[in-house]
Amino acid sequence: MELEELESKIKELEDKKSKLISEIKKNYGRIRYKKYEEKALEPFLKETERVQIEPVRRKLRSLEFKISTQAYTPQLERQMIKEVKKVEEELGKMRAVEKARRKKRLVTQDIVDCEKRITEIEEELKGMRAELRELYGKLKSLKVSSNKKEGRGLVFGEKPEDMVSMEDIVIIEDNRKKD
């Protein structure tokens, strides 16, 4: 691979990595919001946990079935219709409980989905980071080899052009005794 290809590949991976990281941040924000929503629902659900909706719904269905399939006297039929209205009213009051329970299920499912997506992204990021590490190593070796080809590589003991050695700055005196 050439230097430009490596740099473009690295830039592409870095962009993809930053997008995935921003997606993780969004998911964490969504989880935090959903947990607050769940906390807000808890008191109402605790208060209404003993409310049974299904028996009332069954009673309504059976009354409606009786009215529609059997012939009654007008008085008896009116009384049954009044009873149906009472049961519908009772069921109407329970709709808030039913709605809260459904919302709790959906909120919990959203939290699970977000957590699952975060783990998927983290796995993808692990692979991407390993690939980036490898590409950075190749880029570094290419840069070092291109520097040596251009004559910019340093040989051991050779001082770089932008540095000055101590012997250029300091005059070293020989303090040994001369015999």
List, for residues 20-57, the tens digit of each pLDDT value: 999 999 999 999 999 999 999 998 888 888 888 888 88
Query: Quick check: is 168 in a domain?
Result: no
pTM of the full predicted structure?
0.62
Q: What is the pLDDT of residue 141?
A: 84
Query: Quick check: is 119 in a domain?
Result: yes
Range of the domain at 137: 3-153
Query: Quick check: is 160 in a domain?
Result: no
Distance in angstroms between the alpha carbons of the first and the last residue of the chain: 65
> Would you write out the chain's pLDDT as a tens digit for each of its 179 residues?
588 888 899 899 999 999 999 999 999 999 999 999 999 999 888 888 888 888 888 988 998 888 888 887 888 888 888 998 998 998 888 888 889 999 999 999 999 999 999 999 999 999 999 999 998 888 888 887 776 665 555 555 555 566 666 666 666 666 666 55
- 87: closest CA among 107, 65, 118? 65
Number of domains in the chain: 1
* Helix H or strand E encompassing 60: helix 54-69
Query: Quick check: is 170 in a domain?
Result: no
DSSP-assigned letter for residue 176: S
Q: What angle do CA 62, 63, 64 make, to 5 degrees?
A: 90
- E strand residue ranges, the chain: none
Query: Quick check: is 177 in a domain?
Result: no
Tokens 């592409």 belong to 12
CB 74 within 8 A of CB 18: no
Query: Quick check: is 31 in a domain?
Result: yes
Q: What is the pLDDT of residue 56?
A: 87
Q: What is the pLDDT of residue 50?
A: 83
Query: Quick check: is 37 in a domain?
Result: yes
Query: Quick check: is 164 in a domain?
Result: no
